[in-house]
Amino acid sequence: MRVITPLHEDPSIPRDPQKSPSRVAYIALEGEMTALVRTDQIERLQFLEPATLKEVKETPMPLTAQWLAVLLDGVEDGKPVRLGVAALEAGLRWDATYRLVINERPVKTARLELVATIDNQLAPLKETTLLLAVGVPNFPYRMQLASLIAPSGYRREFGMAQAPAARTQILGVPLAGGLGGLGERQAEFVAEVALPAEMELPSAEAAQLVFYETPPLDLKVGERASLVLFSQTLPCREVFEWTIDETPIPLPRPAGGEGRMPPIRPLATGFWYALALRNTLKVPLTTGIATAYQEWRPIGQGLLTFTAVGDEAILRLSPATEVVGDHEEREVSRTPVTEKRRADKAEETVQVGWTVTIEGTVKIRNTRNEPVAIIVRRTMTGEVLTVSDKGEVKVTPPLRAADRNPTSQIRWQLTVPSGEKTLTYRYRKFVPME
């Protein structure tokens, strides 16, 4: 048995008002089982058998501190013990950015670099190897405290902990990645024509995640570091991409009396100049902001989204000026839709809406003196009847049985010579009575 006695304050030493007084947190009674008893809850201690105290150890502990005791059996005094702890902690995270460089025309390849910016707000790191996750880390219960350390009054509802004052940061594995130089804090990228040799940090797979393993890092709390994860040459080509929205974009309105800002129009509603990257790496590309350069000249920025191995990513860079487009739709027919309904023990025919057939036209004008690759996407609510130029159609059934219209997307991918080109399609949709 080991008894830990209270530690009282020395009245001769001036007390710091900013610090809490110290006292013993528990007494450890060791036998066949070990019991931990708080000293401030003990009124009387009586030994049922003769006992000799072999060791009396005073342990100071702040009143406001929370401690987790780990009791080990079969450990010899004075010998070191290696103890590992795995836990979810907030405060250590990384962000991803890309640098993309093209050095040839026409574009056939591009050098892609991924830079991780590591932000340490957790604890000092000394010769620490980090595993940076790429994928979709899923920890939905990260805010739920374990029962062992949950304070009194901590409620759980529907399997989720309820903590009124709980705050959390993003876990240390975000959904994005980046590149840079090891140990360079707040470093700025300088575009250079001569790129470094191709490289890639070691990576390992675990379930549906891929982890990049960093070299040992030293980071104080509040420090950041920039680290190149890979620099590789990938197949690349220029494309002009246009995604046609189904809902018309409203015009800006003056700010009202409530001080609301007018809606912001997108930068472009037509074609975008973009780069199509084929992921030939052994790992997927994570989501991150990409800055593109032609040699040393910056040509635009865009969001490179998650791209599986072997897939192609479309990186929008800037509104197109050499390829322009125009889109219009017109109604070609409207047929009433009726249903038989029972009313007053009799059936009657009631009109519930119309079947409307719509024809769409996409006009493209290529002002270059050479052919260009284009990608046009058109999403609509309804069933596609016809589509020109071998457009691919993808149909998503309605989410609810009461919905009559599926969601359809047409995707054209073709080469357009200098001059004009017209794409057509036709679809029908059910329009209910107002």
Q: What is the DSSP string of 94-134?
A: EEEEEEEEE-SSS--EEEEEEEEEEEE-SS-EEEE--EEEE
pTM for the full predicted model: 0.64
Q: Which residue has the tokens 């007084």?
A: 21
- Res 129 pLDDT > 80: yes
Residues 103, 87: Cα–Cα separation, whole Å: 46
How confident is the model at residue 276, as a pLDDT?
95
How confident is the model at residue 361, as a pLDDT?
94
- Tens digits of per-residue pLDDT, 235-254? 999 999 999 876 543 434 44
How confident is the model at residue 76, as a pLDDT?
83
- Res 414 pLDDT > 90: yes
- Tens digits of per-residue pLDDT, 29-39? 665 556 666 66
Higher-scoring residue by pLDDT: 181, 319:
319
For residue 161, CA distances in Å to 138, 148, 166 come to 17, 13, 10
How confident is the model at residue 195, as a pLDDT?
56
How confident is the model at residue 74, as a pLDDT?
80
Residues 144, 122: Cα–Cα separation, whole Å: 19
Question: What is the 8-class DSSP label of residue 165?
Answer: T
Residue 378 near residue 364 (C-beta atoms within 8 A)? no
How confident is the model at residue 53, as a pLDDT?
57
- Tens digits of per-residue pLDDT, 267-301? 456 899 999 999 999 888 999 999 999 988 999 99
Find the mean pLDDT for residues 79-87. 79
Question: What is the 8-class DSSP label of residue 140?
Answer: T
- Res 264 pLDDT > 80: no
pLDDT band at 27 (very low <50, low <70, confident <90, very high): low
- Res 185 pLDDT > 50: no
How confident is the model at residue 66, as a pLDDT?
62
How confident is the model at residue 45, as a pLDDT?
67
pLDDT band at 49 (very low <50, low <70, confident <90, very high): low
- Encode 220-246: b = buried (16+ Cβ within 10 Å), e = exposed: eeebbbbbbbbbeebebbbbbbbbbee
Residues 334, 431: Cα–Cα separation, whole Å: 10
Q: Kindly report each contact of residues 248-257 with a partner whose C-beta sits within 8 Å and lies 24 or more positions away, as own/partner.
A: none
pLDDT band at 59 (very low <50, low <70, confident <90, very high): low
Q: Which residue has the tokens 């030293």?
A: 218
- Res 18 pLDDT > 60: no
When mean pLDDT is compared across 23-27, 129-133, 231-235, the lowest value belongs to 23-27
pLDDT band at 420 (very low <50, low <70, confident <90, very high): very high
- Tens digits of per-residue pLDDT, 366-406? 999 999 999 999 999 999 999 999 999 999 998 887 788 99
- Tens digits of per-residue pLDDT, 86-126? 777 778 888 999 999 998 888 999 999 999 999 999 889 99
What mean pLDDT, rounded, does the chain reach?
Answer: 76
Higher-scoring residue by pLDDT: 190, 398:
398
3-class DSSP assignment, residue 413: strand
> Which two structure tokens, joined as six digits, stand for 28?
């450890």
For residue 391, CA distances in Å to 330, 384, 423 come to 20, 11, 9
